[in-house]
Each structure stands twice: as structure tokens, then as C-alpha cells.
Chains A and B, each alone.
Chain A
Amino acid sequence: MNHLLREHAPISAAGWQLLDEEARQRATPALAARRLVDFSGPHGWEYSATNLGRTRRTAATPVEGVTGLQRVSLSLVELRADFEVSRAELRDADRGAGDTDLASLDRAAHQLAVAENVAVFHGWKGVIAGISEASPHAKGKPGAAADGYPRLAAQAVEQLLGTGVGGPYGLALGREQYRVVVETSEHGGYPLLEHLGKILGGPIVWAPGVDGAVVLSLRGGDFVFECGQDLSIGYDSHDAEVVRLYLEETFSFHVATPEAAVALTTS
């Protein structure tokens, strides 16, 4: 048994399968960062830091005539979202009920995915430097009108090419921006989504939590998401009525090439 203590929960094997499957289904569509950045791992729960290969000189050393360097690494973060499941619902599921109420789990799964996206694309103050804050390029502004998107995307691609960052390029769109893009066809009926796809050469991703849009290179090596414990459900406690569980993951994220992305933010 590992630290998730799943064996201690009053949940049958079928129940666990149901919960895992539900969480997977709910989280996967929203995990936008994982569609766009390099993924390494999972390296396990006990994995604590990403090697950056960097050092910093120490102020003093214990003995004169000796120099000292301290390694600089990037600590992983733990993200956790608690939720509850009704034991009566679980019992019904074991009887074969197909409409189990797992709203609390669904919310937790979505929140965790959004938190991951925000951390990767916009950063986590004092903990993770995100793609858009690291990018040195001037930030464009996606207007409310859809017809500006192809021009912005083309500008962003040109900016990246101008700094020597090759493609293909991907596009992460916030919820509102995604809706605008998907619902629009340009003059003549050509879907905007496909036009953008032609400009970028890579995927256009629904990224809840992203403010505006981010264009980034997918050539690899520029953005590194290192996963310790991949998304998992763990057990916290239970009483006669409910089982308290949580969704959890550990990861680090760092931008190796700040100029490999262009942010288009609304704020």
C-alpha cells in the first residue's frame, strides 16, 4: 500500500474503478498543458526535485582556500483537491446503478486541471514561473472580434520565427476565446479553427484557466513539465455517510526557452 491509502477506504474494487474512470474522463479534456508542453515522468511520489544543472556560489566556506557551490534545483509542488462521495451512492453503483452522483469528484477533477493549466501558462506566484510571464515578446491582445485571430496568430508565428524558434506551433485558448474561434466561420464560410490550424501547424487546445491565448513552439525542449506522482485519487477519511477522498498530483514546470512562446492576454 502506498501513501494514497486506498486500501483503507470502504470502497469496493468496482467502486475504485468507477471513481478512477470518472476522474480520468473529467480531467483529461481540461488538461491542456499536457497537450502542448514536454512531459517527463511520472517519477513517483518520493521524487522531490527537478535537476536544473545550475549552482549558486555560497557566501562562505567552512575552511579558507576551499570554494563552495550549492546546487539549485526546482522543487516539485503538490496539488490537491478534496472531494466527497456518498456511501449510499457507492453501494448503488455496486448494485449496478449507472447514474452515480459524483458531482463533487467532477468539480475536483476540473479544478485540479485548471490549476495545472494556470500554473503552466501564467505561473504560480513565488513557486512556478509560467510561460506567459516568462515570455519576453510583446503581449498581443485578442480582441472580442474573431476576425482578428488569424492576424494575431500569424504575427505571433512570425515573432517566434524571427527569434529562431521553429515550429510546429500550438495554441492554447481560454474558454471564451475558444468559443469564439470554434463558432466562427470567416467570410466565405471557411471555419476559423481550420484557418488557424494552417497557420500554426500544431494543435489548438481548449485551455480552461488560460487568460486569453498563448502561442508556443512544440519543437520540444522549451517547456518541461516534470511529473512526480501523476493525478491519483487518495483516501482521507470516512464516516457512515460519506467517504472523503482527494485528487492529487505533484509536478514541477520550468521554461527553458522563454522566447519560444507569445502570450495574447486580455488583461
Chain B
Amino acid sequence: MSAAESQAVLAPLTESAIFLVATVDPGSEDALREVLTDVSGLTRSIGFRFPDGGLTCVVGIGSDLWGRTFGQPRPPGLHAFREVIGPRHTAVATPGDLLFHIRATRFDLCFELAERLTDRLLDFAQVVDEVHGFRSFDQRDLLGFVDGTENPAGPALLDAVVISEEDPRFAGGSYVVVQKYLHDLAGWDALPVAEQELRIGRSKLSDIEMPDDLKPANSHVALNTLVGDDGKQRQIVRYNMPFGRVGAREFGTYFIGYARDPQVIEQMLTNMFVGNPPGTYDRILDFSRPVTGNLFFVPSADFIDDPPGALTTVSTQEAAEPVGLAVAPPASRSAEEDGSLGIGSLREGRV
């Protein structure tokens, strides 16, 4: 199997972004499939009006929607977002079947695409969360700290995010977790900068990580540094964006983290909310609380452009491999699964 093209997950940081999370009505899976195939075309035609705008759109699919629309095989790491309940703070799980992560250097491009997409979804999907993110001074969040410094760079970037030979069925895919955090900015700003720096684990002005002997175990940086069994750091890629409404005194950070293995992000959340060891929860959470939480699978670009056909099974349950005569025909299997030669139909113009 040749390497599948991933969606534009690894786009460079942009000035603007729109995050749309939507739920999709049961029974509208066919209509949805059609919209999905149009996403790349829409993105291209809108992006073409301003070629330097770098307009991209990444589509994520939630666990329940996957089961209803694509059935088996399903991405092994995909499940509903698991709530993480800590001693003081909780990473909540909220509804969401579909994620659109729209990015561009200009807000008009993002807005146009978001509008077109929601227009197509109008009859069968509801946008349950919409965030318009902007890039703030030298990538700072509204707490005043630089966000995203720890993103890997170069080949490590691809390595952290894109599934490859470990699962050829989903090669080119990725997982993404999103959480919308709202900040208690008044409370945070009342803290002395030194105290803020201890909670984050890096210096505010110069964005330098504290040495290990000074960095508290319950700082944000310490809890989000994961080392695997092989001694290598396990990384994710964040494309967080600040957002806000000044009149409503709403200030926030939209957390969006992509990873090849969702467990890495889930472990980070456990570290932040429960603590590692338990109790040392992330002290940033005292001033920043999540109000949404979702996990999505991000299929390869090829998958989105040409999603597998309708399920032939009648039930929508996430069935194990059906056995025997008692079931409707299961969806077609791939050659890797059944050990066959994978010849299938030879009719021209058919799959």
C-alpha cells in the first residue's frame, strides 16, 4: 500500500482559524458523505481567490458518527472523549460528531469556507460550538504566555502526528482532541508574574523553560512532558488559538492537539487534571477551565475525498465481526484483513 496523503494537518501556524464542532442527525449519513467529498473542492476554490492565504480545512469524525457512517474497520483509538475527573477540576466531554478546523492567514477566507460548509450541512447537522481564533502577539495566549513552543519540528512533526505503517488501513490519518478553555483573566492578572511563571513552567517575557530543579511538578510544562518507555519524548502538535468577546468578558484558548496515538493526549489530560503523581494537578486550571471536550479521528485526504460506500448492515451498532447467516452482508472487507488476493470487481469505472 502506498503512503496515503494526510489532510492538511501540518499546516504552518496561521493568523486566523475557525473551529466548528457539529452534531449530525442519524439517518443523514449519505448526505454527509456527499458533503465530505466536496470539502477539498470548496477549500480549493475559495483558497484560489487568494492563493497566498494558505486556506486549509481539516475534517475530524467522532466515534459515534464513524460507527453510523463507516462501520468496520474503525480506527482503533477512536472512542467518545473520556471525561477526566480530577480532585478540583474536570475535563468535560461534550457532544460533537464532526470537526472542521479551518485555517488561513486571512479571516475572510476562513469565514467564507465556514459559511459554505455550514450551508451544506444545514438540513441535517447543528453547529454546537463555533470559535473564531486569532493569532495574538508572538503566539501568546490571553494569559500572556507563548503557546505552542513545544511543538516538534521537522521530521519529528510528521512522526508525532501521522499514522503510518503501524496501521496500513488508516495510514495518513491522525487523531485530534479539542477543548475550549475559558480563562479567569482578572484572577490570573492579579497573580504576580513570578507566580504565573511557576504555574506555567516557563518565563513569561522570554519564553524560556525553567530548569528541571526549579520547575514545579505541578506546572503546566512539567505535566505535559511525557516520556515513553523507550526514553523518547512522546509529542503532540498543538494549533491552539486565543479567542474572546471583550464585552462579555470572555477570554479563552481553544486547545487543539493532533497526535498519531490519542493515548498521548489522554495521558497529558490525566496528568493535568488528576496529576502525576495524583494530586499535583496543573495549577493553570485554577484560572482556566474547559467547557467542551471531543476526540475525533482525522482520516487521510483520500478517505475524505472518496469515503467508502454506504454500509450494507442495517443496524448502526458498533458490531463485532458478524458471524454466520443471521446477519445482513457486512461491509466489504479489504484484502489485508481476509488474506485474499483482493481482486474484487474488474469492471472499468468501478471500485
B229 within 8 Å of A by Cβ?
A: no
Contact of B350 (CB < 8 Å), options: A24, A27, A39, A232: A39
**Looking across the interface, which residue of chain B has its beta carbon closest to that of A35?**
B346
Residues of B within 8 A of A24 (CB): 341-343
Residues of B within 8 A of A47 (CB): 329-330
Contact of B340 (CB < 8 Å), options: A31, A40, A42: A42
* Chain B 299-337 interface mask (CB, 8 Å, partner A; 1/0): 000000000000000000000011111000110110100
**Cβ A35 vs Cβ B329 within 8 A:** no
**Cβ A230 vs Cβ B340 within 8 A:** yes
**Looking across the interface, which residue of chain B has its beta carbon closest to that of A29?**
B346
A20 within 8 Å of B by Cβ?
A: yes
**Cβ B346 vs Cβ A34 within 8 A:** yes
Shortest A216–chain B CB gap in Å is 12
Count of interface residues, chain B, beta-carbon cutoff 8 Å = 22
Shortest A214–chain B CB gap in Å is 15
Residues of A within 8 A of B321 (CB): 44
- Bound complex: CA A36 to CA B346 (Å): 8
A43 within 8 Å of B by Cβ?
A: yes
B206 within 8 Å of A by Cβ?
A: no
Residues of B within 8 A of A42 (CB): 332-333, 338, 340, 344
Most buried by B among A2, A36, A41: A41
**Cβ A231 vs Cβ B340 within 8 A:** yes
- Bound complex: CA A31 to CA B333 (Å): 20
Residues of B within 8 A of A227 (CB): 344
Contact of A49 (CB < 8 Å), options: B325, B332, B338, B339: B325
- Bound complex: CA A39 to CA B329 (Å): 13
B345 within 8 Å of A by Cβ?
A: yes
**Cβ B333 vs Cβ A44 within 8 A:** yes
**Cβ B343 vs Cβ A203 within 8 A:** no
- Bound complex: CA A227 to CA B332 (Å): 10
Q: Given known contacts A24-B341, A230-B340, is B325 in contact with A48 (CB within 8 Å)?
A: yes
Residues of B within 8 A of A39 (CB): 344-345, 347, 350
- Bound complex: CA A217 to CA B215 (Å): 75
Q: Given known contacts A34-B347, A46-B323, A48-B325, is B330 in contact with A230 (CB within 8 Å)?
A: no
- Bound complex: CA A7 to CA B314 (Å): 34
- Bound complex: CA A12 to CA B339 (Å): 15
**Cβ A2 vs Cβ B339 within 8 A:** yes
**Cβ A31 vs Cβ B346 within 8 A:** yes
**Cβ A20 vs Cβ B329 within 8 A:** no
Shortest B346–chain A CB gap in Å is 4
- Bound complex: CA A44 to CA B348 (Å): 23
- Bound complex: CA A24 to CA B348 (Å): 17
**Cβ B348 vs Cβ A203 within 8 A:** yes
Contact of B341 (CB < 8 Å), options: A2, A23, A34, A218: A23
Residues of B within 8 A of A45 (CB): 338
A137 within 8 Å of B by Cβ?
A: no
Shortest A134–chain B CB gap in Å is 20
Residues of A within 8 A of B341 (CB): 20, 23-24, 27, 230-233
A177 within 8 Å of B by Cβ?
A: no
Residues of A within 8 A of B346 (CB): 28, 31, 34-35
A132 within 8 Å of B by Cβ?
A: no
Residues of B within 8 A of A36 (CB): 347
A–B complex contacts, Cβ < 8 Å, 5 sampled: A20-B341, A41-B332, A42-B332, A48-B325, A231-B341
Query: Ordered nearest first, which 5 A-B pairs have the shortest CB separation?
Result: A39-B345, A232-B340, A230-B340, A34-B346, A35-B346
15 other contacts beyond A20-B341, A31-B343, A42-B344, with CB at 8 A cut-off? A2-B339, A6-B339, A36-B347, A41-B344, A44-B333, A46-B322, A48-B324, A48-B325, A49-B325, A203-B348, A230-B340, A230-B342, A231-B341, A232-B338, A232-B341
